[in-house]
Amino acid sequence: MSDQREFPVNNLHPLRIADATTGVRHVFVRDFDASAHIGAYEHEKDAAQPIRINVDLSVDESDGNIDDRLENVVCYDSIVAEIRVILAAGHVHLVETLAEQIADMALQDKRVLSVRVRVEKLRAVPEAAAVGIEIERHKTL
């Protein structure tokens, strides 16, 4: 008797990053370190703590030539500025919530097809360099 198991079909598509055949550009923010008021435990509600954020965006580049103009691209500086706004909005209990807020913000741009967000707490567990989560979200069709 064989050990064949039925596994559900995964209908998620992997994040398409920098794919010339489909006209997808990769925009990213790597290792953005910040202080955040984040955490569900009482000892985390008194002060900000260090976090690290990584964002990967799949961007549709089929709208045409960028003409060397900032307004024709998804700008990483604008993404960072919006992350700062989210962080300044106040205390968040969960890293999952922060990641979802960042993903929602990024997907507001019509050119962004999908986003991957990683949020790490850098001092939450003394024995670990970091703990956190990573999510991937796609624009709904």
* Cβ–Cβ < 8 Å for 27, 57: yes
Residue 51 in 3-state DSSP? Answer: strand
Q: What percent of the chain has pLDDT over 90?
A: 74
- Give pTM, 2 decimals: 0.86
How confident is the model at residue 7, as a pLDDT? 45
Tokens representing 132? Answer: 């956190």
Ordered domains of the chain (ranges, CATH): 24-138 (3.30.1130.10)
- 38/26 Cα distance (integer angstroms): 29
Contact 9, 1 (CB under 8 A): no
Weakest-pLDDT range from 24-33, 35-44, 60-69 = 60-69
∠ CA 94-97-100, rounded to 5°: 150
Q: Residue 13: its pLDDT value, please? A: 57
> What tens digit of pLDDT does each residue of 81-104 get?
999 999 999 999 999 999 999 999
pLDDT at position 63, please? 76
What distance in Å separates the CA atoms of residue 42 and residue 74, rounded to the nearest whole number?
38
In this prediction, residue 103 carries a pLDDT of 98
* pLDDT of the residue at 1: 47
How sure is the predictor about 16, in pLDDT bands with cuts at 50, 70 and 90? Answer: low
> 139: burial class by Cβ within 10 Å (0-12, 13-18, 19+)?
middle
Question: Does the pLDDT at position 11 exceed 80?
Answer: no
